[in-house]
Amino acid sequence: MDLEDDTSVLTTLKSFNSFISHTEAPQRLSEGSAGSGNLQSQYKRSMELMEAGERVHSNNRYLQLDGEKKQMELSHKRARYELEKVASDSARDLEHEVDRNQDLLGRLKKFQERETEAAKNLSEQVEANRALRKNMEALNRKLEERDTRLNTANQTISSLKDEIRELTQRIQNQDSTTSSQTLENQELQEQLDLQRRKHQEVSQLCQSLQATQSSCSEHIVKIKELELRLALQEQDIAIVKTVKSEVAKVPDLEKDLKRLREDNAFLRESRENCSLLKEEVEGLRRKLERMEKKKEELVNIELEKERLAEKLKAWENLGQSTGLNIRKPEDLSREVIHIQQREIALKEQNYTLSSRVRSAERSQNEHRAELCQQRSKTLEEQKKRETQDSLVRRLQKRVLLLTKERDGMRAILESYDSELAPTEYSPQLSKRLRESEDILQKTQSHNVEMEAQLTKAQEETGTLKLQLQTVELELESLKKHQASAADSNTSGTKEELNILRQKIEDLESERQRLEEQNNILEMRLERHNLQGDFDPIKTRVLHFKMNPVTVAKQQRQQDIDALREEVTRLSELVRSLQEGGAMVQGDSSINASLSLSLPPSKEVVDLRKQMESLELRNQRLKEVFQRKIQEFRTVCYVLTGYQIDITTENQYRLTSVYAEHMDDSLLFKKGSNGSMQLMETVFSKTLEEMMALHLHHQKSIPAFLSAVTLDLFSRQTTI
């Protein structure tokens, strides 16, 4: 039927085309724009009619299908819901049916999709047609290009018509399939009705079974509880008995407890004491060790002290033995020098003394020799004197003789003179007289001479005697001296010599000792010299003012100062930071100065970054949560058919998709034990029947809600 339709359309299109192509040329002049306008309106009307017809047709089909589908879905859902509670064999059948149903549903959906696609295509085509029509109008107005444009438009129209035909064909196909599906659906519905009835029966049976089972289980539970109670009571009795016996023991136990507590306290104290004692013991042990060490040190020190004391004593002995207060090496050296000087002085004295002794001996010998000489001289002198005495006597005698002779001569002479005349004998006599006188004179002079000689000799003897006396005195003194000298020289000198020798030996030994000491001291001095000691009297030590040591020390001091300053600054900073941490906002001035002086530490920066990222994450989580919640709610709404809102805490308002009014809602309240309770609303009042069945009898809120949904849905669809 449909195919014929199509062919008729095609034939009409062909005839139309041929009509246009043939009749255009003769009619162009006569009819002109009016003819073309007629044709256009005709065409337009036919197209519109066709479209409207098609649209109405498809719409009807669609609505029908939709209704059917919805009904099917509903029935299917109900069937499934009921079938779930049916026994296993019926369930298997149901599942099979459900599978098939699902298949069918899938196919249905596919068909629906195809249908929608086709509808879309159709609308698109319609729109294109419209555009083309507009174009055609434009073409008609522009006469020159009209034919060609019309042709192309016709061609496009024909192609579009083809397409439309195809589409209609498809729709027809779909219609056939849908009709077959509706048939199937009807069959299924019948089956479903059957199964529903069965299910109701089964469910009733099931419910009764469940009721009995539940009552049975309750009874069993009660029995168990009672048994448990019995056992518990028996246990309690036993416990009570034991407790009673224990209660009897309680006072004793309390006493024991007290005692034990006291013991405990005592033990604790003793433990503390013990630890204290241990610490003390440890301390004492350490002390003991230290003391022992000290003792050893003490012994060493004492030994050293003794050695030093010995040394000191030796020194002091030295001092005492020498009778000098030698306390220091310098004293000693001074003493040594003194002693040496004294030694030298004594030596010198010794030498002088020995030399004096020798000189005294020599002088003694000389004196002796002199004495001998003097003795011999005196003897000689004595002899001389004796001789001179004898000579003097002889001379005196001679003088006497001479005087006597002279006197005799004179007498003679006088006698002569008197006797003889002076004339005869005078010359002779006078001559003789004269001669005698001369002789006399001579003798006299000789006498005088002799006397002078005598006096001289006497004087000489006197002097000699004096000399002798002095010599004798000297001799005596010498003798005395010699005696004393001999005394000392013999025994005394020997002793002296011995003493002196000893002294010399002593001095020599002392000298050697002192020399050794001197050497030691010199060595020490050398050592001191080596160590860098110096004589402050003669020497001074100089160094360059800006030497590396002072420079380095200054540098060091500066460094230390700088570091100290930095440390104080940093500690100040740390303190202020610590204080400022609590009241960062409080003292922004300090903070500012701090931030100026100290860039925020890496840690702080890191923490800040972390914080920012966390905040960002939080924000994102919030957004995601919101989105998810929204999504969840919409999904819930779509899947269950209820929009769930939380009006107040623990109160949930459910609004069905199929609610007839916006205010139709169910209100649930969540109890303290988690159970949900339906609150009364205007809408709930209309559902008394369902409430009685599902809530009071079946005690299932989901079942109730599903029932409400189904009810509302059925109401909506029936309308």
Summarize as ranges the residues that interact with other proteins (CB under 8 A).
527, 529-534, 537-553, 556
Residue placing its CB nearer to other proteins in the complex, 251 or 548: 548
Got the DSSP string for 570-612? HHHHHHHHHHHHHTTTTTHHHHHHHHHHSPPPHHHHHHHHHHH
Are 165 and 197 spatial neighbours (Cβ–Cβ below 8 Å)? no
Residue closest to 663 by CA, chosen among 676, 673, 671, 653: 653
Q: Which residues of 508-547 are buried (b: 16+ CB within 10 A; e: fewer)?
A: eebbeebeebbeebeeeeeeeeeeeeeeeeeeeeeeeeee
16-20, long-range: CB within 8 Å, 24+ apart, which pairs? 17/154, 17/158, 20/150, 20/154
Q: How far is the CB of 558 from other proteins (least distance, A)?
A: 13
Judged on CB neighbours under 10 Å (0-12, 13-18, 19+), 195 is buried
Cβ neighbours, 10 Å, residue 252: 9
Q: How far is the CB of 487 from other proteins (least distance, A)?
A: 58
Most distant CA pair in the chain, distance: 281
Are 374 and 468 spatial neighbours (Cβ–Cβ below 8 Å)? yes
Q: How far is the CB of 298 from other proteins (least distance, A)?
A: 21
Residue placing its CB nearer to other proteins in the complex, 323 or 548: 548
Q: How far is the CB of 562 from other proteins (least distance, A)?
A: 16
Residue placing its CB nearer to other proteins in the complex, 26 or 532: 532
Residue placing its CB nearer to other proteins in the complex, 480 or 528: 528
Residue placing its CB nearer to other proteins in the complex, 538 or 602: 538
Give the three-state DSSP class for 641. coil
Residue placing its CB nearer to other proteins in the complex, 547 or 568: 547
Q: How many CA atoms lie within 13 A of 469 on its CB side?
A: 5
Q: How far is the CB of 535 from other proteins (least distance, A)?
A: 9
Q: How far is the CB of 546 from other proteins (least distance, A)?
A: 7
Residue placing its CB nearer to other proteins in the complex, 204 or 550: 550
Cβ neighbours, 10 Å, residue 493: 17
Residue placing its CB nearer to other proteins in the complex, 541 or 596: 541
453-456, long-range: CB within 8 Å, 24+ apart, which pairs? 453/388, 454/388, 454/392
Residue placing its CB nearer to other proteins in the complex, 173 or 550: 550
CA distance 230 to 250: 29
Q: How far is the CB of 553 from other proteins (least distance, A)?
A: 7
Q: How far is the CB of 599 from other proteins (least distance, A)?
A: 33
Residue closest to 503 by CA, chosen among 357, 345, 335, 319: 345
Q: How far is the CB of 522 from other proteins (least distance, A)?
A: 15
C-alpha distances (whole Å) from 520 to each of 433, 489, 523, 649 are: 111, 43, 5, 112
* Token pair for 272: 């503390």
Residue placing its CB nearer to other proteins in the complex, 29 or 537: 537
C-alpha distances (whole Å) from 678 to each of 636, 664, 671, 686, 687 are: 20, 14, 10, 13, 12
CA distance 482 to 357: 11
Q: How far is the CB of 541 from other proteins (least distance, A)?
A: 5
Residue placing its CB nearer to other proteins in the complex, 537 or 719: 537
Q: How far is the CB of 528 from other proteins (least distance, A)?
A: 9
Q: How far is the CB of 551 from other proteins (least distance, A)?
A: 8
CA distance 188 to 108: 15
Residue placing its CB nearer to other proteins in the complex, 537 or 646: 537
Q: How far is the CB of 550 from other proteins (least distance, A)?
A: 8
Are 497 and 361 spatial neighbours (Cβ–Cβ below 8 Å)? no
| Angle between helix 146-322 and 2-30 (nearest 10) | 110
Residue placing its CB nearer to other proteins in the complex, 534 or 625: 534
CA distance 176 to 168: 12
